[in-house]
Amino acid sequence: MDIELLSNPFYQRALATAGFIGFANGFFSGIVVLRRNALSVSALSHTMLPGIALGILVTGALTQWNAFLGALFAALLVGLGSLAVSRGKRIAQGTALGVLYTTGFAAGVAILPRLDTRQELEHWLFGDIIAVGNADMWIAFTIGSLTLLVTTLWMRPILLTLFEPNVAAAQGVHVRLFQYLIFGLLVLSLVASLQAVGCVLSVGLLVTPAATVSLLTDKTSTLFWGGGLVGCLGSLAAVLASSALGIAPGPAIVITLGLLFLAAYLFSPKYGLLATIAR
């Protein structure tokens, strides 16, 4: 690590963005883990690709805003669409999501050759945090701050809803409202991490940190703040290491978080594999 690199404004922005998104999405990953359907998040993340393609097709240009808004629109459309389709009770929500997101993804793949931006699209697929501009950084900061603020302000009803919706309703929580809120925040968090890790890998940031911490604690608040800490430090370390090792920072972030999870899975004093075998 040379000092020259750290004084580079691109690199500074990359570190600031990675650290902040790592914290915000690591914190929010607590909700994803407690909600117990990380796979649906994965489906939503794939939906962002056709969204970006659509944004380009409609506006004719690939800009940050087109990409963000396209991704947001597609994820909301598919997510809320799956909720709407499954309200008829005949189709389970997972089924509806599977149909809608693959259809959307296929449409994105079909549109891609018509767009003259395939090279740049790779940035959106796997992220390109070194190329973060000021505008990207502020978009990420704004969305991250919003999800953090809303989640901490309404932490109690959110936890009640996630733990047991029936008991939550008996305590006066408007359960459906909070389920939609959680869902909306989830989509926003996915979009916020586009620039850092891209659509395909964004799920890693939104699942792995709290999954790691859940192996180490029985306290709900620790799951969230610990998830934020793991996400932040893991992302910073990964960006620093990636330039030294010569690998792309996006994958480096997700690999680092995955390795931390593996370590917790093996060595957690209470829930680790080794502790379980020793018992």
Residues near other proteins, by CB under 8 A: 34, 36, 153-154, 156-157, 159-160, 162-164, 166-167, 169-172, 214, 217-220, 222-223
Give the residue with the Cβ less far from other proteins, 41 or 71: 41
Do the Cβ atoms of 232 and 22 come closer than 8 Å? yes
* Nearest distance, CB of residue 13 and other proteins, angstroms: 35
Give the residue with the Cβ less far from other proteins, 162 or 254: 162
* Nearest distance, CB of residue 96 and other proteins, angstroms: 21
* Nearest distance, CB of residue 36 and other proteins, angstroms: 7
Give the residue with the Cβ less far from other proteins, 45 or 212: 212
Give the residue with the Cβ less far from other proteins, 86 or 217: 217
* Nearest distance, CB of residue 276 and other proteins, angstroms: 14
Dihedral class, residue 57 (left if φ above 0, else alpha if ψ from -120 to 50, else beta): alpha
Strands (E), 80-122: none
Give the residue with the Cβ less far from other proteins, 12 or 179: 179
Q: Tokens at residue 9, please?
A: 């404004």
Give the residue with the Cβ less far from other proteins, 34 or 143: 34
* Nearest distance, CB of residue 152 and other proteins, angstroms: 10
* Nearest distance, CB of residue 227 and other proteins, angstroms: 11
CA atoms within 13 A on the CB side of 220: 12
CA dihedral 226, 231, 236, 237 (to 10 degrees): 80
Q: Give the separation between CA 266 and CA 260, rounded to whole angstroms.
A: 10
Q: Give the separation between CA 36 and CA 164, rounded to whole angstroms.
A: 13
Q: Give the separation between CA 55 and CA 119, rounded to whole angstroms.
A: 16
* Nearest distance, CB of residue 32 and other proteins, angstroms: 13
Q: How far is the first Cα of the chain from the last one, in angstroms, to the nearest whole number? A: 43
Give the residue with the Cβ less far from other proteins, 169 or 233: 169
The crossing angle, in degrees rounded to 10, of helices 38-59 and 118-126 is 150
Dihedral class, residue 8 (left if φ above 0, else alpha if ψ from -120 to 50, else beta): beta
Question: Based on the number of CB atoms within 10 Å of its own CB, is 68 exposed (0-12), middle (13-18) or buried (19 or more)?
Answer: buried
* Nearest distance, CB of residue 79 and other proteins, angstroms: 22
Q: How many residues does the chain have?
A: 279
Give the residue with the Cβ less far from other proteins, 57 or 229: 229
